[in-house]
Structure 1
Amino acid sequence: MQILIVDDSASIREITGDILKTSGYSQILTAKSGEEALEILSRPRDASKEKKIDLILMDMVMPGMGGIEACRKIKENERFHHVPVIMVTAIKDMEMLKLAFETGVNDYIQKPVNPVELLVRVRSALSLKSEIDKRQDKESELLDLTTELKETNEKLRNFEKAIHDMQIGLTIANPEGKIIYCNPAEAKMHNYSPEELIGKDARIFAPEKLWKPMERKKLKKIDSFRRETSNVRKDGTTFPVQLLSDVVINDSGEPIAVITTCEDITGRTKAKQELKDAHDKLEQRVKERTEELSGTNTLLREEIRERKKVEESLRLSENEYHTLFQQFSALLEAIPDSLILFGPDLNILWSNHGKAKIFGLKQKQARGEYSAIVEKIYEDSDDWPVKKCFKSGKEESDEVSTEDGMMLNIRAFPIIDEKGKVSNVLELIIDVTEKASLQAEAMKAGHLASIGELSAGVAHEINNPINGIINCGQLIEKKLGQTEKVEELASMIIKEGKRVAKIVKALLSFARNRGDKVEAVSLETVLWESLALTEAHLRKDGITLNIDFPPDLPLVTANDQQIEQVFLNLINNARYALNEKYPRDDKNKVLEIKAQTLMRDKKLYLRTVFHDSGPGISKKIINRVINPFFTTKPPKEGTGLGLSISHGIIDDHGGKLTIESKEDKFTKVIVELPTREEMQ
């Protein structure tokens, strides 16, 4: 860690440097003015040779550029705005200190410097700087992961569109001959809708005289087969087609599906017939007009050339269709997520390589009985989305953790037969372990940032009652002979002492890590603990606070620390908005917080509304403000994660977070949580 000391006094620079060096901080730089400090920061640095500056100790009053102006210029620079600045000064003027904090100062120390206090403040600032650096690294990783996920989803959508828009008919049937998928081109060719065909016998397309049962033994011996025949439309009319079928075999040698492409060759058949008729005519003419042999031979050569062109076109078309089918199969196998097709007996009919990759199985082990897979995830198989999907006939989903520490998103999609029953289920399994880990790290970083922001306000808030206690104690010494006055002073000591205890209790409560534990929680208690940590900032900014919490509100089941983090974020956002619209004291600079119960869908909810009279949010961006990394604040004042994390916390509690706003008028953030009784 490298620390820059800026002071016009050489002795103070030397003393401060010695204190830090004796405590293990050996990398010390010094500057005697604000101008020199900026020059040091602006020097080009070789990342492999010279360390970056992690902390600045700045004197407030110096010749030339003072500490406040130097701090402002440092914070305006994108390279240095995350570097913490501690102001070292003998000035006790609160307005000057307030101005210093507004320029970006993170903390201050009174001269003469107490070595213990100096080291404590330095360690705290460096610790916060380290956590912020880690948070930025995690945010960058999360952004990269989100971009990769978007690209994968786009590829999948393009693949689905290609199959849907393909002009060649495509049908997938199970070994029993039941249709489990057909594209729109196949259905339109036979005057059906795709929904009508799902679950029907694939022989519905063939004339009854050609119906033959599909036998597994024969399918095992067939790889692929091509034929020309006639298919039957829904209205009973027939038309010529060319069919290309491929049998999908599992690792055990068992057929699991037959994929067939169908091309309407009405035009091609007509061309063949015309070619045949022309050939017959030619032969007849040869017989009848031998004397015109020369002219007839010329015509014959022309007809042969035309026939070769048609045959070559047919051959190229067949190759294109076969290539498209191979690409379709390869694309399914290339998807990194697990795709599994289940039959009614819960056996795996087909799966891609993604399943073997996620569960660490060989491809041969990845087919067959499902039990080995389910037992890795569920103690009770009835909770398995595939089993629930067979019962409900609807899409089912779940997100689970395995004993190996993986986080999996599991979705099951029903395939309905002609009787309206589920004939098969397609399961999609996505490994979201890394994404969940990054989200947890982002929430933890947000919590640590909140603690850092509150530290200065809490220190100031504690200092006032402490001074009151000391003053009252001194007066008691002088008033020992005046019993009535002593009693009054003693009451003031008790009151101020309780105030200190309340602030310390609130800070400890917020800083304590409770994990994901949930319990019965009073939102009024959570609100007052949040205000105990932010009231000093609100009062300093001249913000009027109106609280309306009716008595006997029901409890909610929640993690009180997470809900407090949400409340702190909403209060700080409102404070920022009010200060942006009203830089100075104003009668309209008001934050209202109200609570009430409401019924929705026969359930009792507790609604908390945070209403500020700030600049509001424009209609163009109001639907984007809860997106990760979206912020209207300058880069050095916000990460864009606060509202996104808050929305996720409320959603995880079964609640709802909504925003109403009118530009230049107000913003209302509404938090609705189900009451404890409803969540039991």
Structure 2
Amino acid sequence: GMVRGVVVVKKDMSDIEASFKKHAYCFLVDPHGVIFLSSRDDMHLRSLWPLKQDTRQLLAASGQLGAGPFVPLLSHEAEDGRTVTFEREKLLVTRRSLGHDNWSVVLLNSTSHISAYRLFSIFTTFVFFSMTVVFFAVLYFSKDSAVMIASSERRYRSLVEGSPNCVALFNAEGICLTVNRSGVVLTGLQEKEIVGRPLDAVWHSRTSGGLEAVLRPVLQGSRYSYEPESARPDGRKVLWSAVLNPLAHASGRVSHFVGIFMDITERTAAEEELKSYHGQLEDLVKERTRELSESNERLQREMMERQHAEDARRDSEERFHSLFNLASDCIFLLDPSHPGGPVIVDVNLAAVTMHGYEREEMLGRPISFLNYPDDMKRLPDIMAGITTGEPVSFEIRHVRKDGTIVPLEVSARLISLGGKPYILGMDRDITMRKQAEDELQRHRENLEQLVEERTAELRTAVQLLTSEINFRKSAEETLKLSETKFRSLSQEFHTLLDAMSDELLLVAPDLTILWANKAFAARVGTDAAELSGRPCSAIWFDHAGKGNPDDALRSFSSGRPESIQISAADGRLLDIRAFPIKDDEGAVGSVIIVASDITEKATLQAEAMRAGHLASLGELSAGVAHEINNPITGIINYAQIIANMNPEGTHEHDIAKRIVREGDRIAGIVRSLLSFARERKEDKSVVQFPKIIMDSITLTETQIRKDHIHLRLTMPEDLPFVVVNPQQVQQVVLNIISNARYALNRRYPEADAEKVLDISGSEVVIDGARYVRMVFTDYGTGIPADAMEKVLNPFYSTKPVGEGTGLGLSISHGIITDHGGKLRIESREGLFTSVIIDLPAKESHGTQA
């Protein structure tokens, strides 16, 4: 396309470029004035004269000559024969067109010597003409004044002889009568070879008609200009620019004429040299014109596409600048590459207005000049955070131009514009917020003090208020007298109730809300005034997790205080207490409900209860183990004696062996029971994971059969050994089997073919290390997606209140982690739950302990 065309043109025109470089200023230009060849390399593909608006847009859109701007070398279009000023020098324009496509060759020659020659020629002609007139006038009027004639002739000759051009005097027949010294030098002839010879014998006319055609206008009294030629003795041809000026008598008859000849050989040679390339340039220009026409068609299409893109970009920029400058926050664009710290590249109007500087005063200066001196030491840490590429927020103080300090909240991040990193910072004036925070802190301190002072009064006030409500009819007159006091007390009462962290509700018999404090309104996400008249049950159930909050409203029917604990939707445990307010007749007119957050208290109680249970179970298990182990040891020993006394294969021997096995099983159950009650400090031993699985199934197979659960085991025989505490790992397995039984029974209360528990084992490699993996998969209720991240947390349970402590999976996870293993859970609600245990494999099989 475009690049190939340029290469071809440059290659084909290499000889012409060499010729161009012989001149100071020589150009090949297209019809628009764009330079395609130049005698100077720094002027290629520039415009010689100003481009039209549509041409400039077309070239800028194409990108062929760069993005512009196209600064012209000349102030107007170059015209042949005109003079122009370029680089503080006045130059003569010689312009020759090439073909019919308006391409042209432009040659700029210095006019300093031409102007001097012209001026001198005009001056010489004028002087010569004047002296001739004077000479003939003196001759006519003073024929006898020979001295004056001789003097005038000497002055005339000195002027003519001093001319740099050839000046000659001819008679009416065209015979040269005299010639100056410059004429002899320029023609290369002797004076005698010029004087006495006809004009065309020395200066040959190149037009038809010969000497007669030249003399005709001169003898008619007109000035005549033409370009003759002559030959020097050395054979070199000389071209002349000749001007013939007639000299007439008073009668008007021309008797003589003066010829002034200027050597234009060099200028003509340059023009001829340009003409010699005319044909070749025409062909090249035609080819280039064809290529440019094709390019222009493509450019027109691209220009339309780019125009649409430019319009879209311009609209986008206008929207951006509008948003940028209309933004209420201060926006800074910083250059982080400056060695002295980030430098301000751009700011919006809000930043200029807030800081009191002019925009020009801020641009180019480091952002640190606005920072409060005490905050300067934080800048390295702030810059380290920004350079990570993540958004950074911080507070800092700026100093306005008037010296006032303004606190700002800054959000900054690193962005890329044109491949270069910049910091975009948005500053928000937080003066009002800081003042509000200070004011809020003062009010908080006052409120805390007031709450402390009023807490004791609140209890008394609540009792008083309840009594006054119950006996309001009998105390109506007293109430009217103390109305002013009551209103003040009521206002204080509501203020104190709103300041309480506990949630308070006053509920009517129709179970609509009469009043609620701000703590309850904040939890349900609305204004306290909007709660009045709304159904209590709808609001409770919308924001309750587990438990029925309506149980607390039984105070309307029971007439006594009620209490219940529920789990809120946000995970908190609430203690809800209801206190009935009765009228004079003993009927409950309303109920005050107080909801307290006891999450932390319940957690501590559960931990203490769990610890107490474990301690009690430990003591019980130790006693049971002692009481059972002694007799079972005797039973096993007696059974073994019987077995030893009877030969193998006999009925007695078989029964004795069964008694030994069942006794061992009872001893194992006792040991397993003991492992739940207290932490045993046995050393770890080398065992096979499947054996722990089978021992655990032995303890639970009766329950599994009772629940009609299909147990599927997949255990390869060549699984590696593991080094573990068998009792602790068995505790984990039993907990997982218990959870699986619960989930399966919830989904399938009766026997079902899909009521399956899969237990499989395999060897895996994780991060280059060998592990033994056990996967327990039940197809029960599954775990909700929002609970997956919390099931391993202590005291978190998906089971109803009272059915689980939330400690099983947490303890199991801790045991597996202590053994260097991993426990993770995969589940889909309503489909399945898989518990995956990975324990490090022992490198070589040892003896099972």
* TM-score clears 0.5: no
TM-score (ref. length: structure 1): 0.34
Higher relative contact order (CA 8 A, sep 6+): 1
Determine which structure has more spread, i.e. the larger CA radius of gyration: 2
